[in-house]
Homo-oligomer: A and B are copies of this chain.
Amino acid sequence: TTMKRVLVLAGDGIGPEVVREALRVIDWIDRRRHVPFDVQQGEVGGAAIDAHGTPLADATMALAQEADAVLLGAVGGPKWDALPFAQRPERGLLRLRKELQLYANLRPATVFAPLVDASTLKPEIVRGLDLMIVRELTGGIYFGEPRGIELLPDGQRRGINTQVYTTSEIHRVGRVAFDLARKRGSKVCSADKANVMESGRLWREEIQKLRDESYSDVELEHMYADAVAMELLRRPNRFDVIVTDNLFGDILSDEAAMMTGSLGMLPSASLGDQRADGGRKALYEPVHGSAPDIAGKDLANPIATILSLSMMLRWSFDMHTEADLIEQAVEGVLASGTRTGDIMAPGMARVSTTVMGDSILHEL
């Protein structure tokens, strides 16, 4: 087995704490499963601003380019909130996405059986929920030009952003969604606002064309993004894979995540193109943010980050056995009643970040 080169960017807030537990799991794989990992560490977000004066230093960007995969904690916090637009912690993350060309963001929304009551939705609505949102991540209004704020002759200001999508941008993320659907329930729902946006009209036509030409075995339905926001609440289990653009994906994937009631459990993967050698650029991160209020207190739930590592094993290294082991260990720990504060329930045992990590390692 070749060395797996992983760049770890812990970031801000609870980032370092949750990443630390994932590093212990990497260490376990290295020693017990005899798969050698080369782990480098770097700064991103506020931590990078403090250390290097920029949310992502060029040297760190170079490390990310060389790595087989990046594991990220979280970015942002009140300390950096007053910074101007182009210097904020988020820009570090956006630069990683753009320069690594991580165009497909996989956001699973899964309800773990023992946590079904953590949702604000009724258990019968979310029980067994297992849907995957594939969000376009390097295009659309996040990166389109022209953009900016201009001063008008009459003293007013005008803010501009541009949503742009090309055929090939739509097809490549569409392919990820259809390929994924084939391994799951063979159903894709594509979300857009084709009724009011031409870019959405193009999105709809191109996704349909792709399906008809290359994925006619997969069932495709188109819905307006506002209807998806509703339907997620009404009957979430009707969905298998949802594919959508950068901005709708941002909102719909967060809605779906919150529906599970356990944000601290949810991982994500951001994938680039498959290379000739089989590898692909990829970044893995928990869905939750940097949670400044509980940072440094050993209270955060490390499971989302540990499951992000397990997504890395699957998607970047084809290590399905190890990924299965990790996921089973997490389920085992949950079944035994061990809980961090965010998923605490009556009768369970409340533990710290570190003890949750201990428990998962013990289970492994």
Contact = CB atoms under 8 A, between A and B. Distances in A.
Interface of A: 85, 88, 90, 94, 120-122, 125, 141-142, 144, 147-149, 152, 156-168, 193, 195-203, 206, 225-227, 229-230, 233-234, 247-248, 250-252, 254-255, 257-259, 263
A230 B202 contact: no
Q: How many copies does the complex hold?
A: 2
Contacts of A167: 156-158
B198 A149 contact: yes
Main secondary structure on A side of the interface with B: helix
Nearest to A228: B251
Contacts of A259: 233
A250 B165 contact: no
Given A94-B196, A230-B255, A202 B159 contact: yes
A233 B159 contact: no
A198 B147 contact: yes
A195 B142 CA distance: 10
Contacts of A125: 120
A198 B148 contact: yes
Nearest to A171: B156
Contacts of A195: 88, 90
Given A120-B121, A196-B94, A157 B234 contact: no
Nearest to A201: B85
A234 B120 contact: yes
A193 B161 CA distance: 11
A254 B227 contact: yes
Contacts of A206: 157
A89 to B, nearest CB: 9
Of A157, A196, A226, the most chain B CB neighbours within 10 A belong to A196
A342 to B, nearest CB: 12
12 contacts: A121-B122, A149-B199, A156-B166, A157-B166, A157-B167, A157-B206, A158-B164, A158-B202, A159-B202, A163-B163, A226-B250, A230-B254
